[in-house]
Copies of this chain bind each other. A is one copy, B any other.
């Protein structure tokens, strides 16, 4: 579906007049064209942030979230979806980065950041507090566990569509050598090619290691069931994004049909807000929930989804990749383990080895696990030189490209 990605990002930098010199960095990425539209939306949201006091913003973070997502005029071009919501994520990610550099948070503070509008039929503020309270038990041990062993990751880098056997073999044996035990294969373009690649990978990794499949929304509902029935012999743990991210009932139908084959449904990277996740949980439409801090409204909205997932006992396995998404979601998923789910059962975080070199605080992977970040903030700051070189349209990289294109 995404045939020519040229990863790009809207990058928000918040500065204040406080003498600590701290800045907040926020990001949301796109596949290339479209970033200019997101930037335009960030500028449209800017009046809500400029010349405001950070203390006032985080002092009523729920209200600030509501203000951004329910702007009386901008709401029309969402609401809480698409371009304006991506822009909201970028802005809020920057606020969280800045705030996190200043101070720690307690559970009560976190709940006060959540806008419960439209989800109280499934999760109330009181229930959220109760979940966080109960998860205090064993928290210290889980923190130590994370520091020692990290959070389990899986790799998506081995088996893209159409890779020839030789490439697959090489990537797969390298990944095995690096300690990876969970592998994701892209499927859905050509059934015979899928069968060939899945067979090869399954043979290489053996029956014990974990294989997942990802269709990137290629199918209609009946087609998804039919296609996956044919790939069931390779024992995938999940099929990711079998159809439209908007189709809650479709995912529920696919889940029901594939359950007897032992295949779970995973989705979320293009689910646009907490209301969609609420329904996916209500409808038993997924077995694995994939959050994303560049599409949902930053930590605020992701918190509500983590808490709903906990209530429904559904594991969260974040979407990562893109530009800087690994850097962001590692915070969310390690927090989920320590303070919400308290479990690693059926849980893992996506990892793609791409573009980390541009980040000032890049993720650290050790033995196929995310090691907890130790620097304060949301790990969203890019290296100054990377930003300078890649800035559109006046960075050196773009200047060369545009000159080559004769612009």
Contacts and interface: CB of A to CB of B under 8 A. Distances in A.
Contacts of A70: 1
Contacts of A73: 2, 4-6, 30-34
Interface string A211-238: 0000001001111000000000000000
Contacts of A81: 81-82, 246, 272
A116 B221 CA distance: 12
A36 B40 contact: yes
A173 to B, nearest CB: 31
B74 A34 contact: yes
A2 B75 CA distance: 8
A114 to B, nearest CB: 14
Contacts of A34: 41, 44, 73-74, 76-77, 84
A63 interface: no
A406 interface: no
Interface stretch (A147-155, A192-200, A274-282, A299-307): A274-282
A273 B253 contact: no
Interface stretch (A97-105, A117-125, A337-345, A369-377): A117-125
Interface string A31-48: 111101110110010000
A197 to B, nearest CB: 21
A282 to B, nearest CB: 5
A135 interface: no
A72 interface: yes
Query: Of A40, A83, A86, A250, which is in contact with the most chain B CB atoms at under 10 Å from its CB?
Result: A83
A29 to B, nearest CB: 8
A2 B76 contact: yes
A276 B246 contact: yes
| A contact residues, range | 35 or more
Contacts of A220: 116-121
Interface string A167-193: 000000000000000000000000000
A245 interface: yes
Contact of A77 (B38, B119, B243, B249): B38
A85 interface: yes
A44 B220 CA distance: 28
A92 interface: no
Contacts of A74: 31, 33-34
Contacts of A41: 34, 37, 83
Interface string A1-25: 1111110000000000000000000
A18 to B, nearest CB: 29
Contacts of A33: 44, 71, 73-74
B121 A244 contact: no
Contacts of A83: 37, 41, 77, 82-84
Given A1-B72, A33-B74, A248-B249, 9 more contacts: A37-B40, A40-B40, A77-B83, A246-B276, A246-B279, A247-B278, A249-B279, A249-B283, A250-B275
23 contacts: A1-B72, A1-B75, A6-B73, A31-B76, A34-B73, A34-B74, A36-B44, A79-B245, A79-B270, A81-B81, A81-B272, A82-B82, A82-B272, A83-B84, A117-B220, A117-B244, A118-B247, A120-B221, A121-B222, A121-B250, A121-B253, A246-B272, A246-B279
